[in-house]
Amino acid sequence: MGDGERDWTAVVKAVADSPRRDNSAYHQAMSDARQAFEAAEAALGGPVQVKTKTKMKRSGEYVVKWVFKRVK
């Protein structure tokens, strides 16, 4: 086994031993985004285009505004 193989094994072991991240908030946000697109397409009657506007509030909240427009 060469040095490169040992280094790779050490990296894989470090990744396997690292704490697991809780991705539930990310998965919920993606689900909400898909549902928003579906609702916009149903309401506007076809494919939609989206524009986003973002801002960081002083309270630490990160706000994203989505505006859907029907594709002509």
Residue of 52, 72, 70, 71 whose CA lies nearest to 62: 52
Look up tokens 């916009």; give the residue.
40
pLDDT tens, residue by residue, 12-69:
888 788 888 888 999 999 999 999 999 999 999 999 999 999 999 999 999 999 999 9
pTM: 0.63
Between these two residues, 2 and 35, which has the higher pLDDT value? 35
